[in-house]
Amino acid sequence: MDQQYGQERFATTIESDEKVEPRDWMPDGYRSTLIRQMAQHAHSEVIGMQPEANWISRAPTLMRKMILIAKVQDEAGHGLYLYSATETLGVSRDELQEMLHSGQQKYSSIFNYPTLNWADMGAIGWLVDGAAIVNQIVLQRTSYGPYSRAMVKICKEESFHARQGYSILMVLAQGSEEQKAMAQDALDRWWWPSLMMFGPHDSESPHTEQSMAWKIKRITNDDLRQMYIDQTVPQAHYLGLTIPDPELSFDEETGHWSIGAIDWDEFWATIKGDGRLNRERIAHKVKAWEDGQWVREGAMAYADKHTPRLNKSA
């Protein structure tokens, strides 16, 4: 395709809020930004299975166990849609795995915190999936077609995830004093890390301006975080829990909750690989990848054996 025609067409597509599709011309920076963000998103879904999978065998009832298995399985599915969508940009799944395992690509900071007890399953569903939904509902309008379409199904499933988390905490918050204390302790530990999921302040975010111009991002990090805070604080109050922030206050004029300072040193250390569980999470992921080698080899051998026959009959 003629380069100038491609550039003009890309500009018009973005301007008119249409979708960029895999075979369309796109700037190199647009492609590499999408690969970075979508791969990080896919890796987050897959690494994000670890903190919850840890609790499947310890869920308190058969019903809770079934629900948690379904949720963790959904996360695997989200990872698969997102890897497939990322592959449409010309990068293979093997390359993406390699970049995750070697630390060249990231996954969400939130999955470097430990899950200490059952209340943490409630906090992850309510707070972590809740934050993911706020971000992902907006990503349904992202300018890259395959990413935007993947978000539609993912958002529906995340909505179930958030509700199952809230329902776990509702039971605990209405239970014994010890159960209420568990719910409060989980909120205390997960509140600040969940706010960090939205990324650095806009003033410190190197990618936001360009990503907004390309309509990859539709709302900035700080604005999304504020939407999340406004939605989540009343939910905590409904549970009878206290947000662990002495500076939290409601501004009658703006109609928004304002919060104290986020610990950005903790955030940057975590995304640079020095969080509580970064090494364990990646070691576990690499081991699972190596243990699954025979399955991939078997699948490839099967495909090799059957492809010629399919081609012949075509």
Q: Which residues bind ligand FAQ (CB under 6 A)?
A: 36-37, 40-41, 44-45, 48, 75, 106, 108-109, 124, 128-129, 132, 135, 196-200, 205-208, 211, 217, 221, 271
Angle between helices 145-173 and 130-139 (to 10 degrees): 160
For ligand FAQ, the closer of residues 9 and 201 by Cβ is: 201
Residue 74: CB minimum distance to ligand FAQ, A: 9
SS3 content of the chain, % helix, strand, coil (to 5): 70, 5, 25
Q: Strand ranges (DSSP E) for the chain?
A: 249-251, 256-258
Residue 185: CB minimum distance to ligand FAQ, A: 19
Residue 58: CB minimum distance to ligand FAQ, A: 17
DSSP sequence for 1-12: --HHHHHHHHHH
For residues 173 and 171, what is the distance between their CA atoms, to the nearest angstrom?
Answer: 6
Pick left, alpha or beta for residue 9 (phi over 0 → left; psi -120 to 50 → alpha; otherwise beta): alpha
For ligand FAQ, the closer of residues 179 and 205 by Cβ is: 205
Residue 22: CB minimum distance to ligand FAQ, A: 19
For residues 239 and 183, what is the distance between their CA atoms, to the nearest angstrom?
Answer: 9
For ligand FAQ, the closer of residues 122 and 199 by Cβ is: 199
Residue 255: CB minimum distance to ligand FAQ, A: 24
For ligand FAQ, the closer of residues 26 and 275 by Cβ is: 275
For ligand FAQ, the closer of residues 213 and 301 by Cβ is: 213
